[in-house]
C-alpha cells in the first residue's frame, strides 16, 4: 500500500486563529480486488470509518482519498493499513475489526509511550490470539491488557459488564494454550444459578443437566475450534465439564481452568475452586459483579476474592468498563443507561 500526501503541511509553523487545517491523503492498494475487500460492499467499511473519525473518503478503483484534519486523516491511514494487512493475510474484515483498528490507533501513544516517542508507533499492535481456526486481535486497550495479563499470570480475574469479551477471549486463549501444547486439557465450570428463574428438575445425565448453563462457553469453543475437534475433546476428556459441586478434593494439573459467571459463586465455593490449582495449570475467573443472582444477603465469592487477593504475586485483576463493550453498539448504550440509573439511585437519598 502506498500513501501520497496531497497537501503541503508545515508541522512547526504556528496555526492562525480561525483557520482550520485540512489535508488530502491518497492511498493506493495492490489491486482492485484487495481494495474492494478493504472498502467493503458498497464501500460500507469506508462509510463506517467516515462516521467514526469525521473525515471524508473518495474511492476510485484501487485508490482512496482521505479528506479531513491532519490528525484524523493519519488516524484513518493507520486503520486502512491494518485492514490491508488483514486482507493480505487472507483474513476477513468485520465491523469489529474496524473498530478495533480505530481504537488501536487512538491508544498507541498511551499504551507504548516509549516507542511512540521513538517515532515507531506503526510497528506496534494490540495482542492477538491465534488458533488453527481463527486469529483475533484485541479490540481495545482493556482487551489488550487482558490478553497480556493472561500471558503473564497464572490466575486472572476479569470483571465487567456483558459484551466486553471476557469469556470469549478466555476461551480463545485456553484453546491457544492447548494447541500449543502448554496445557493438556481445558476444564470448564460455572455456577448453576438461574438468572431470576426457577427451572426445577432438569432431565438427562450430568452433561445434559449442566449444558444449558455452559452454552455461552460452548458457543465460544465452536468459534475457535472445529466442531469435530470440540466433540472429540469432550469424548476424550481434553475438554471437561466440571460442575462446582464436584470440584472439591481435586488437584487440577497441566490444565487451563475457566470459571465463568463467578459473581454467582459463594465465598466458600470460590476459595475451594481457587485452591484446586495444580502444577502447570492456569485459571481464568470471569464475572459481572453487577449481575449477582445469589439469594439476598449471600456474599459473592468473586467480589470477596478480588478484594482479598489484591496485590498477590502471580494474580492479575482486569476490570472492564461500559466503554469496553464490543458486542453491539446498542449493548453499550444499554449498559451505559443501566449504570447511569444505578448511580442516580445511589445519589438520591431514601425518603
251-298 tens-digit pLDDT: 899 999 999 999 999 999 999 999 999 999 999 999 999 888 888 888
Q: Are residues 300 and 171 in the same domain?
A: yes
**Residue where a domain stops, chosen among 65, 98, 125:** 125
Domain identity same for 110 and 158:
no
Contact present, 135 and 307 (Cβ < 8 Å): no
Q: What is the CATH number of the domain that holds 244?
A: 3.40.50.300
Same domain for 300 and 319, yes or no, is yes
Of 91, 125, 159, the last residue of a domain is 125
Range of the domain at 275: 130-347
Interatomic CA distance for residues 222 and 211, integer angstroms:
14
What per-residue confidence (pLDDT) applies to 91? 84
- Are 151 and 248 members of one domain? yes
Closest CA to 133 of 225, 266, 30, 209: 225
Name which residue leads in pLDDT, 109 or 101.
101
| Structural domain ending residue among the three candidates 72, 94, 125 | 125
Q: Which pLDDT belongs to residue 134?
A: 87
Do 108 and 214 sit in the same domain of this protein?
A: no
pLDDT tens digits for 121-177?
445 578 899 999 988 888 888 999 999 999 999 999 999 988 899 999 999 999 999
Report the C-alpha gap between 48 and 232 in whole angstroms.
41
Give the model confidence (pLDDT) of 286-344 as tens digits: 999 988 888 888 899 999 999 999 989 999 999 998 888 876 667 767 877 887 887 77
Q: Same structural domain for residues 103 and 147?
A: no
Amino acid at each position: 500500500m502506498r500513501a501520497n500526501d496531497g497537501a503541503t503541511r508545515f508541522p512547526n509553523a504556528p496555526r492562525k486563529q480561525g483557520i482550520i487545517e485540512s489535508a488530502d491523503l491518497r492511498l493506493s492498494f495492490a489491486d482492485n480486488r484487495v481494495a474492494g475487500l478493504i472498502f467493503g460492499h458498497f464501500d460500507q467499511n469506508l462509510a463506517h470509518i467516515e462516521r467514526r473519525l469525521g473525515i471524508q473518503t473518495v474511492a476510485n478503483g484501487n485508490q482512496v482519498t482521505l479528506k479531513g484534519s491532519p490528525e484524523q486523516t493519519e488516524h484513518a491511514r493507520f486503520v486502512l493499513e491494518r485492514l490491508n494487512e488483514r486482507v493480505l493475510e487472507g483474513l476477513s474484515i468485520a465491523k469489529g475489526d474496524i473498530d478495533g483498528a480505530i481504537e488501536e490507533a487512538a491508544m498507541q501513544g498511551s499504551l507504548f509511550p516509549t516507542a511512540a516517542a521513538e517515532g515507531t508507533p506503526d510497528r506496534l499492535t494490540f495482542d492477538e490470539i491465534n488458533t488453527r481456526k481463527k486469529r483475533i486481535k484485541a479490540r481495545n486497550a482493556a482487551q489488550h491488557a487482558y490478553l497480556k495479563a493472561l500471558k503473564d499470570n497464572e490466575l486472572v480475574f476479569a470483571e465487567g459488564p456483558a459484551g466486553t469479551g471476557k469469556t470469549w477471549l478466555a476461551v480463545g486463549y485456553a484453546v491457544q494454550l492447548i494447541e500449543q501444547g502448554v496445557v493438556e486439557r481445558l476444564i470448564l465450570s460455572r455456577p448453576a444459578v438461574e438468572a431470576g428463574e426457577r427451572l426445577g428438575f432438569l432431565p438427562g445425565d450430568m452433561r445434559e443437566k449442566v449444558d444449558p448453563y455452559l452454552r455461552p462457553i460452548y458457543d465460544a469453543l465452536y468459534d475457535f475450534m472445529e466442531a469435530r475437534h470440540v466433540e472429540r475433546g469432550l469424548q476424550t476428556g481434553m475438554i471437561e465439564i466440571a460442575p462446582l459441586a464436584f470440584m472439591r478434593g481435586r488437584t487440577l494439573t497441566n490444565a487451563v481452568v475457566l470459571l465463568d459467571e463467578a459473581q454467582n459463586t459463594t465465598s466458600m465455593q470460590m476459595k475451594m475452586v481457587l485452591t484446586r490449582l495444580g502444577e502447570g495449570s492456569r485459571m481464568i475467573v470471569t464475572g459481572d459483579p453487577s449481575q449477582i443472582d445469589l439469594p439476598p444477603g449471600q456474599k459473592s465469592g468473586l467480589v470477596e476474592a478480588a478484594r482479598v487477593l489484591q496485590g498477590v504475586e502471580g494474580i492479575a485483576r482486569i476490570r472492564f468498563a461500559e466503554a469496553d463493550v464490543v458486542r453491539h453498539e446498542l449493548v453499550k448504550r444499554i449498559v451505559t443507561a443501566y449504570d447511569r440509573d444505578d448511580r442516580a439511585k445511589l445519589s438520591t437519598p431514601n425518603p
